[in-house]
Amino acid sequence: MYWAKTNLKLRQTLVLYDACNLKELKPGLHSAPGWKLFGKVPPRENFQKDSKIIQQEYEARTGRTCKPAPQATRRKNFEFEPLSTTALILEDRPSNLPAKSIEEALRHRQEYDEMVAEAKKREIKEAHKRKRIMKERFKQEENIASAMVIWINEILPNWEGMRTTRRVRELWWQGLPPSVRGKVWSLAIGNELNITHELYEIFLSRAKERWKSFSETNSENDIEDAGVSVADREASLELIKLDISRTFPSFYIFQKGGPYHDLLHSVLGAYTCYRPDVGYVQGMSFIAAVLILNLEEADAFIAFANLLNKPCQLAFFRVDHSMMLKYFAAFEVFFEENLPKLFLHFKSYSLTPDIYLIDWIFTLYSKSLPLDLACRVWDVFCRDGEEFLFRTGLGILRLYEDILLQMDFIHIAQFLTKLPEDITSEKLFSCIAAIQMQNSNKKWAQVSENNNVTKSC
């Protein structure tokens, strides 16, 4: 009983010493060498002495009296101070090192106060930033909710009559609400090919039969011996599988075992059977994936096939060099008109539009931009057509003009292939809005047509 009371008292004493900012001494380590921040210290028999006791013993031994440190240097309210390595600057040095002078202690206190003040400033700044972001997010959600009501109750029921009105175009520019995005895309893209859900099932069945025959083929040489065309070989299961695995890899939803893997595989496979003249081309998987995220399977296929049948997409996916050159030439006309300084910089390095535009057009920016921002680009692309794809490209160049002017050929190409993740829709669309798609009173369609005539001649 006596020893139990003694041990309890000892533990209470240790807690009290710790609260008074003394170093806790663990039982069993009295005879073992101690370890401190500044290195190994000799074995200790007793608790570490308080700095006041050391000072009193020094005064008694030497007869000198030290002036007490100013009250400001004492650490009051320790529990409210940051518990980090920052506070170590206020600690006394170990007994085997020279003690701090009063001037040094004052300087350390001042440095510590400055660090704490700076940390508080950063914390307040971050808190204001978070508050502003949350406020903007709430405002955006409110705008989306109100816009959704307008789209569902007013615009979609009267689509043909309202789609070209100024009010709808302005609302469209601000971005479509996710709940109506797929429906609006389908209506805007249209179905000139008159594809039905039943037709999709027919081509999907053909694709599955083809995959089965490919899986039974032993090698690529056997395929060539069987007289299968290049387009058919590109439509093989292995090629599509490879590209699907590289489609939005960070999301995992399109990877093997993901919820949309088989869906994406079906849409791409059915298309290769529907359009064997085009076949499967790398980059298609990104377009199909974005459509699948916003539409049902058959509807996604219908939109996909009609979208790729547009003149610009058809020219790129069929690798029609003459048509592609026409688009590049038209793009350069507006590039020089809107960004003359950057245009000359690119010219000095012989950096042609195909180096960065091909990837942007092939995937409709869904690979280069964050997905939510790419969807907003798609919104206006469905409204304005191919012109907006090239206007978006000029908007990106305008946004990063100052950075690109400092880069050489290699760094420009690398930068434009994978754009920064922190790009925001507000900044990008502000730059896109500043791009004028007129040259000598000629619009995009006229300039591109003139370039086409020139190329033909």
Q: Are residues 369 and 325 in the same domain?
A: yes
Among 260, 281, 303, which residue terminates a domain? 303
Q: Are residues 352 and 444 in the same domain?
A: yes
Q: Are residues 263 and 345 in the same domain?
A: no
Q: Mention every residue, 6+ apart, whose C-beta is less than 8 A from residue 168.
A: 155, 162
Q: What is the rounded CA–CA span in Å between residue 14 and residue 8?
A: 10
What is the tens place of the pLDDT at every residue in 205-237?
A: 998 888 777 666 644 444 444 444 544 544 456
Among 255, 270, 303, which residue terminates a domain? 303
Q: Mention every residue, 6+ apart, whose C-beta is less than 8 A from residue 91.
A: 37
Question: Is the pLDDT score of 183 beyond 80?
Answer: yes
Q: How far is CA 94 from the centre of its chain?
A: 49
Q: Mention every residue, 6+ apart, whose C-beta is less than 8 A from residue 48.
A: 22, 23, 25, 95
The CA dihedral of 106, 110, 112, 118, to the nearest 10 degrees, is 180
| Residues of the domain holding 435 | 315-451
What is the tens place of the pLDDT at every residue in 153-162?
A: 999 999 999 9
Mean pLDDT for the stretch of residues 181-192? 96
Contact 38, 93 (CB under 8 A): yes
Residue 127 lies in a domain: no
Output the pTM of the full model: 0.69
Predicted confidence at residue 245, as pLDDT, reads 85
Q: Are residues 209 and 279 in the same domain?
A: yes
Q: Is 407 exposed, middle or buried (0-12, 13-18, 19+ CB in 10 A)?
A: middle
Predicted confidence at residue 67, as pLDDT, reads 52
Residue 391 lies in a domain: yes
Q: What is the rounded CA–CA span in Å between residue 208 and residue 229?
A: 18
Residue 42 lies in a domain: no
Q: Are residues 368 and 443 in the same domain?
A: yes
- Pick from 337, 377, 343: which is nearest to 361 by CA? 377
Q: What is the rounded CA–CA span in Å between residue 269 and residue 453?
A: 37
User: Residue type for 330, please?
Assistant: A
Q: Are residues 368 and 242 in the same domain?
A: no
Mean pLDDT for the stretch of residues 122-133? 87
Q: Which residues of 311-348 are buried (b: 16+ CB within 10 A; e: fewer)?
A: ebbebbbbeeeebbbbbbbbbbbbbebbbeebbebbee
Residue 256 lies in a domain: yes
Predicted confidence at residue 39, as pLDDT, reads 43
Q: Are residues 444 and 361 in the same domain?
A: yes
Phi/psi of residue 2, each to 5°? -65, -45
Phi/psi of residue 439, each to 5°? -140, 115
| CATH code: domain of residue 443 | 1.10.472.80
Q: What is the rounded CA–CA span in Å between residue 294 and residue 288?
A: 10
Mean pLDDT for the stretch of residues 132-150? 84
Please state the domain count of the chain: 2
Q: Are residues 418 and 383 in the same domain?
A: yes
Most distant pair of Cα atoms in the chain: their distance: 111
Predicted confidence at residue 165, as pLDDT, reads 94
Q: Are residues 279 and 334 in the same domain?
A: no
Among 253, 280, 303, which residue terminates a domain? 303
Q: Are residues 338 and 415 in the same domain?
A: yes
Q: Are residues 236 and 332 in the same domain?
A: no
The CA dihedral of 287, 288, 292, 296, to the nearest 10 degrees, is 130
